[in-house]
Chains A and B, each alone.
Chain A
Amino acid sequence: MAVNRMFRTCPTTGLKFHQPAEALMKWNAVAAVVSLLVGGILALGVTLTRWQAVHLLAPDWFYLFLTAHGLNMLVFWIIFFEIAVLYFAGSTLLGCRLATPKMAWAGFWLMVAGALLNNYAVIFRQDSSVMFTSYAPMGAHPTFYLGLILFAVGALIGCFVFLGTLAVGKAEKTYNGSIPLVTFGALTACIIAIFTIASGAIILIPTFLWSLGLIEHIDSLMYRTVFWAFGHSSQQINVSAHVAIWYAIAAIAFGAKPMSERVSRAAFLLYIFFLQLASAHHLLVDPGLTSNWKIFNTSYAMYLAVLASMVHGLTVPGAIEVAQREKGFNKGLFEWLRKAPWGNPVFSGMFISLMGFGFLGGISGVMMGTEQLNLIIHNTLYVPGHFHATVVVGTTLAFMSLTYFLIPVLFRRQMMFPLLAKWQPYLFGLGMSGFALFMMGAGTLGMPRRHWDVSFAGNLFPHEFPGTAWLMIALMGISGLVAIVGGIIYLLITVGSVFLGKKIETPDFKYVKAREGMAPAPQPVAATLTAHHGNIGMAGFVAPGTFVLAIVFLTSFVLYYFVNWKYLSTVWPLS
């Protein structure tokens, strides 16, 4: 069978793109952005209904919008983009051909069919408003589950194509020694994805059969337990993928090298062992499961995954600081940060993503994962507040900033609206940070999630929320609109640039056939940093600014954690 060995070399970055891998990355990225567009339109409806002063949609439409928004954002946008990242980290960064492109295409079309079928069930049939969690015995139309299953099978094929590509790279010796750190991060995401998809199959296939009437009963606790191995782990794929992107962007924007590859790889290994276990925090108030299971999976195991995130949160800005100080920005604690390219959306988006993920998503995640503290906020707006900080500020913004790098490098188009692009990460990142923060504030004051009318108007047992809670809701609505404007600008720039942007012409451009059995020989790249950091830093630290940021983070973390224990004692007075 003929193997396509055609490669092109990016004249700007020197990256080598295998022809079929390049096409697959483009198509997956486009499918991701289309899902983001659909999810974004739905986000507007959800935000304007959550904002009690507007309360736009009727109940039926609200739940329909919420279901389709959740699935398009949490599953389709994210996973299409992640498959593109896997092919980039596998084929392009290793400089090797993609394994089995035909299988990769089959996987892609299965994902497209699955996404369409699921959206058909929710939006067009309008009988599957069961939300992202689709808790049995609340039933959806069979096409809802079938769509998810097809999408998952397609994504699984993509994961195995990535693993196959690693094997091809090793066999054809396109890299020496260990795979690059970014590829290792992508491998971590791929491993978590395979566990996630397998868990999805374990629960969604019987639920699909149940929706067809072939199985009589789905136990609700069993469903919830196995579902969260799929539902929450799918968000852990994001964490690994966006951390890999942080490292990639640090290298792209600054030529930064990780402060310690060993430590960073060990942190990814902690993700592989423990990150998925945090799924148990969704079940902390469920009867039937023992405290042993809950506390082991959330507190003990999850803290090791949190440790890994803190390592990445320290080493990525630390690597940037070292690179900046090497370039001469060595004055004081924060000259390296002040003189960073804040007008470059690739960097600004990544840095806001890192800060938002750590300070908002990370700290709130640990609080939620503590069995006792979880009682304060379980099933309140705090929960979507937390995951908008992790998945949207953390993952989506990291993906957006990578897109600005990929438009010229992968799509070979000039970026349109560069001034808007400069502002987009701030609008989206800060808007979404406010949205998450105010949502968490309202949740802390008891505002429920999922409910169409959080005021419980006309209820037999009415409940009066404090005025601050309503203020939080209004601020959440305003911040949400700012973020949506940021999202619209992103879509305008990406869709405009990819389809209407000026082509980047490269004289004598052509795909070059690699010799049989081997990818193009890697070109030597000039070292960006010396092994010894020379005379940089302060007081014996090569990255003192990052150290100070880490201390600020830890202080916030400890204070917030203990404030919540204090708050818990007032919620349940015992005397």
Chain B
Amino acid sequence: MAEPTQNVNFEEVLEEPIPAMQQLLDNPFLLLFIGIATPAVLYIIWGVMEIVNIPVAK
């Protein structure tokens, strides 16, 4: 005798997980954080650190 059919939500079963890259691209606020943090660290903070470390002439 066949087992009774379970109540399956096919939409959930068929739904593939969203790839990590797409999750990143779909999150404007995470992109905003990346877009500000990257140049802030690599350009401004690194650049300013180099300038403040220049010895002052005596």
Contacts and interface: CB of A to CB of B under 8 A. Distances in A.
Contacts of A202: 44
Contacts of B26: 177-179
Nearest to B54: A288
B41 to A, nearest CB: 10
A288 B25 contact: no
Contacts of B31: 187-188, 191, 269, 272
B8 interface: no
A198 B36 contact: yes
A233 B32 contact: no
Interface in B30-52: 31-32, 34-36, 38-40, 42-44, 46-48, 50-51
Task: Categorize the interface residue count of chain A.
Answer: 35 or more
B39 A222 contact: no
A195 B39 contact: yes
Interface residues of B, number: 24
B32 A191 contact: yes
Contacts of A283: 47
A564 interface: no
A222 B34 contact: no
A351 interface: no
A350 interface: no
Contact of A226 (B34, B42, B44): B44
Contacts of A276: 35, 38-39, 43
B36 A296 contact: no
Contacts of B24: 269
A191 B31 CA distance: 8
Contact of B50 (A226, A273, A290): A290
Nearest to A268: B25
Given A163-B32, A233-B39, A273-B35, A225 B51 contact: yes
Given A184-B25, A265-B25, A297-B42, A191 B36 contact: yes
Contacts of A293: 46-47, 50
Which DSSP category, helix, strand, loop or mixed, fits chain A's interface?
helix
Contacts of A272: 31, 34-35, 38
Nearest to A225: B47
Interface in A172-216: 177-179, 184, 187-188, 191-192, 194-195, 198-199, 202
B28 interface: yes
B28 to A, nearest CB: 5
Contacts of B50: 288-290, 293
A226 B48 CA distance: 8
B7 interface: no
Contact of A279 (B29, B34, B38, B43): B43
A561 B54 CA distance: 34
A269 B51 CA distance: 30
B51 A191 contact: no
A188 B25 CA distance: 11
Contact of B38 (A179, A221, A273): A273
B22 interface: yes
A277 B43 contact: yes
A559 B39 CA distance: 31
A297 B43 contact: yes
A233 B35 CA distance: 12
Nearest to A159: B32
A307 to B, nearest CB: 16
A304 to B, nearest CB: 11
A166 interface: yes
B39 A191 contact: no
A178 B27 CA distance: 9
B51 A229 contact: no
A168 to B, nearest CB: 12
Interface of B: 21-22, 24-26, 28-29, 31-32, 34-36, 38-40, 42-44, 46-48, 50-51, 54
Interface of A: 163, 166, 177-179, 184, 187-188, 191-192, 194-195, 198-199, 202, 219, 221-222, 225-226, 229, 233, 265-266, 269, 272-274, 276-277, 279-280, 283, 288-290, 293, 296-297, 301
Given A191-B35, A297-B42, 15 more contacts: A163-B29, A178-B26, A184-B25, A191-B36, A194-B36, A225-B51, A226-B48, A269-B31, A273-B35, A274-B38, A276-B43, A279-B43, A289-B50, A290-B50, A293-B47
13 contacts: A163-B32, A184-B25, A191-B32, A192-B35, A195-B35, A219-B51, A225-B48, A229-B43, A272-B38, A276-B35, A277-B38, A288-B54, A301-B42
What 5 pairs between A and B have smallest CB-CB spacing?
A191-B35, A276-B39, A272-B35, A225-B47, A195-B36
